[in-house]
Structure 1
């Protein structure tokens, strides 16, 4: 329930309910709509204010951790609506469902009951776009998205089917001899999935991938091109799409239909976008530019030079390359969007001076050659809004020794320094290391709460023993 619909329970004091013949009894309650509490806008620094006051054209905002990136985005949307913008002509795109929910909640709270603009993920936007233009004659049912495990199963079944076809002399793909022994392994299926995903993110179809494979002399990639064609045929027959194919189809569709015209498009976590998502953003901004130019000509004014797209991101935090994210998207933003400006949020409100100094030692080794050097320098030399913080590095000979010492550090912090358990966190590089780390912490008496989204189903405490029993029986 939004803030404008907050309810309050009040005793009836024996008065009758509205309506004939209805009497309230002592102890009953009625719901009363209360006005939303007034929200005091946050205090913005000069760099944030420049972003909020930006009115037209592309803008890249370099925002390090704790610099108020989300606050600045929300205030930018609120300021544009206060200047009379229609929320239906504003679009906010982000990387994850969790981030989209947070943005929607914060914008709704900031706008005090007014309808906020659409805030969604790239994939949700693509799905809605395809559903809106889905051919009813070809697809009686809505397209369904494949989950990761479902896609893995589909790829492995297709690979197994190709083995049977080759044995019967009917194989179409023709994998190299040195790879045929690997076709049934999970690792090979994962590699094939990665090739399929990267191909579609780059906009490559089976024919283009095959030509590229011949040009560089990669017979395995040429076989993957044949597999891609078969895989896409199966998806179409089943009426399903995987996530990379979803964005690819949306980009193709954007070139043949009239997209909604937006006055401004805001993109959060831009460093996590892949090439297909960047192409979709170009299509959205081209549509908005055309609509703005048409409206300007009809009104007797001068056509604007470019659409408003504001991208927030930090190239130093680009960590999803294994999912197809390409840091070149944010590095090429000024050139790709017609010489857009670059603004830097310069104050870190989360990390103390010592932590910022430690991160600076790392980022200095990461070149960012395609962005203005003065902007990069300002981005990496953040001013700390508070003191405190400490960074220490430890090395251990084995993974088990590492887990035991992590548990010891946490116990000492709680028992000797009085740090509450809820104020501690352990970050891991991969979800696969969570079960062993959880066992080590639990054995040492450290209470553990693991985000369910970070734990594979097969590693859940209730599922792992069942799988072990099934393997033993099999």
Structure 2
């Protein structure tokens, strides 16, 4: 508690009514939430199994759990706490209580690659796969079933086409015991709406709920929280309406502003001390964003460079070279290439910095490629965050599909013959002989045999439709 400022301490110690924490960037959101959970436990206000913390990403959940490890010494208590993303929480609920909403078990979560293949197999040739996929996701985020689609959801896709594709897509998922990512929250909301006993069971189980980044929730997530946390619950939500960035995914900041209407007894606190940025950065952010309610009072007391540099350059390549030069100047031109070519003036004042002190942000992936090339040319070590996952790379999905055909799990798209025929041509003749040789083998022997037959996958015989 000694590391908290007075407003953070007030948020940590507040109990007995819902709490809305308006927290600007760098004001210690995670620190406040984790200290609050630790306070509830250490003062015996809550039992570990009564606490639920919901985040948007696995990384945020891991960070929250890591910080709690330093605050709570009893590892058994940490194991009982529920700290999950919205989707992981709903997956757990469905595994326990899926029956009443008509989901067949065992069910499988549809991968994004398989989802794309399935939607494409249902679409007419002149319809955009991405647009249809996004529209179906948006419908589910708004808790709309096939046939419920509003025109504002459909956009420029004809309503009858959307209804037909959405209905066929959902029917296929049901037949194959599959759920897509958006189904997880959709199904749990329907479960809680239609089955009071199940809803009350989870309300009783999780009496102390914390929600991170509340400004980024969509309608389905909003309904989930409202169903799980009635006004009598100890609900704490934290976020910054100026940082609402997921509107393209269906989120809306209006649910953040609606919190006091939903919970009239809620207390509102504002975290305004920034621990991350200099006063120069904060003043600049106010100029860019405007004098909003949140940032108007934001302060740090951290002094630093008085000016920001804005460089207008003709090309992405020129931008990348400018970034390289700026970094090399700060680290005193460690790159031999830059010194020999006199790309920088080593007489310039530079700080005692290392390459790990720098982060470069860019708007689109194409800019990342130009930066990578510039760093490689200059010999600057770097790592790029957010590159495509290996499972999303071309060819990987096809290979995984082949492996599932060799060793089927008994559920999913592998069982849909009409889909498989369209998806990969000439597959059966190539895989059947290999499949026969796997019978009776151990897992290790199967993997070795598949590895020996890997030429099947690269011979060009497997053609995606």
Q: TM-score range by the shorter chain?
A: 0.7 to 0.9
C-alpha displacement of 1:136:
11
Q: Following the alignment from structure 2 to structure 1, what is the Cα–Cα distance between the partners of residues 209 and 392?
A: 40
Q: Following the alignment from structure 1 to structure 2, what is the Cα–Cα distance between the partners of residues 152 and 433?
A: 26
- Counterpart residue number, 1:83: 43
Paired residue for 1:149, among 113, 126, 131?
113
Q: Following the alignment from structure 1 to structure 2, what is the Cα–Cα distance between the partners of residues 217 and 317?
A: 26
Q: Following the alignment from structure 2 to structure 1, what is the Cα–Cα distance between the partners of residues 393 and 108?
A: 26
- Counterpart residue number, 1:103: 64
Is 1:393–2:310 an aligned residue pair? yes
- The structure-2 alpha-carbon separation of the partners of 1:394 and 1:127, relative to structure 1 and needing over 3 Å to count, comes to same
Q: Following the alignment from structure 2 to structure 1, what is the Cα–Cα distance between the partners of residues 152 and 363?
A: 37
CA displacement 1:76-125 (0-9 Å, x = unmatched): 11111122110111110011001101111211220112513211100000
Paired residue for 2:207, among 259, 263, 278?
263
Would you say the 8 A contact 1:213–1:222 is kept in 2?
no
**Structure 1, unpaired ranges of 5+:** 1-40, 164-180, 290-305, 368-375, 464-468
- The structure-2 alpha-carbon separation of the partners of 1:108 and 1:458, relative to structure 1 and needing over 3 Å to count, comes to closer
Paired residue for 2:331, among 389, 392, 414?
414
Paired residue for 2:369, among 435, 441, 459?
435
Q: Following the alignment from structure 2 to structure 1, what is the Cα–Cα distance between the partners of residues 101 and 51?
A: 32
- Counterpart residue number, 1:190: 130
C-alpha displacement of 1:314:
0.9
- Counterpart residue number, 1:384: 300
Would you say the 8 A contact 1:435–1:459 is kept in 2?
no
Would you say the 8 A contact 1:315–1:327 is kept in 2?
yes
C-alpha displacement of 1:215:
12
Secondary structure of 1:93's counterpart equals: strand
Would you say the 8 A contact 2:41–2:47 is kept in 1?
yes
Would you say the 8 A contact 1:360–1:381 is kept in 2?
no
- Counterpart residue number, 1:171: none
CA displacement 1:36-91 (0-9 Å, x = unmatched): xxxxx442111111101110222111111221111111111111112211011111
- Counterpart residue number, 1:229: 167
- The structure-2 alpha-carbon separation of the partners of 1:150 and 1:217, relative to structure 1 and needing over 3 Å to count, comes to closer
TM-score (norm 1): 0.72
RMSD: 3.2
Is 1:43–2:3 an aligned residue pair? yes
Paired residue for 1:315, among 224, 238, 241?
241
Q: Following the alignment from structure 2 to structure 1, what is the Cα–Cα distance between the partners of residues 245 and 238?
A: 16
- The structure-2 alpha-carbon separation of the partners of 1:136 and 1:385, relative to structure 1 and needing over 3 Å to count, comes to same
Would you say the 8 A contact 2:104–2:174 is kept in 1?
no
Moved over 6 A (4+): 136-140, 214-219, 458-463
CA displacement 1:320-351 (0-9 Å, x = unmatched): 22222222221222212335232101111111
Is 1:72–2:49 an aligned residue pair? no
Is 1:62–2:26 an aligned residue pair? no
Q: Following the alignment from structure 1 to structure 2, what is the Cα–Cα distance between the partners of residues 456 and 448?
A: 18
CA displacement 1:419-462 (0-9 Å, x = unmatched): 201111111223454333212221232212112x4435499899
Secondary structure of 1:157's counterpart equals: helix
**Structure 2, unpaired ranges of 5+:** 334-349, 397-458
- Counterpart residue number, 1:93: 54
C-alpha displacement of 1:233:
0.6
Q: Following the alignment from structure 1 to structure 2, what is the Cα–Cα distance between the partners of residues 102 and 398?
A: 38
- The structure-2 alpha-carbon separation of the partners of 1:182 and 1:412, relative to structure 1 and needing over 3 Å to count, comes to farther
TM-score (norm 2): 0.73
Paired residue for 2:147, among 195, 207, 218?
207
Secondary structure of 1:409's counterpart equals: helix
Paired residue for 1:279, among 185, 201, 223?
223
Secondary structure of 2:116's counterpart equals: helix
C-alpha displacement of 1:414:
1.9
C-alpha displacement of 1:392:
2.4
Q: Following the alignment from structure 2 to structure 1, what is the Cα–Cα distance between the partners of residues 31 and 39?
A: 12
Secondary structure of 2:186's counterpart equals: helix
- Counterpart residue number, 2:411: none
- Counterpart residue number, 1:444: 378
Q: Following the alignment from structure 1 to structure 2, what is the Cα–Cα distance between the partners of residues 53 and 335?
A: 23
Would you say the 8 A contact 2:192–2:227 is kept in 1?
yes
- The structure-2 alpha-carbon separation of the partners of 1:138 and 1:384, relative to structure 1 and needing over 3 Å to count, comes to closer
Would you say the 8 A contact 2:103–2:174 is kept in 1?
no
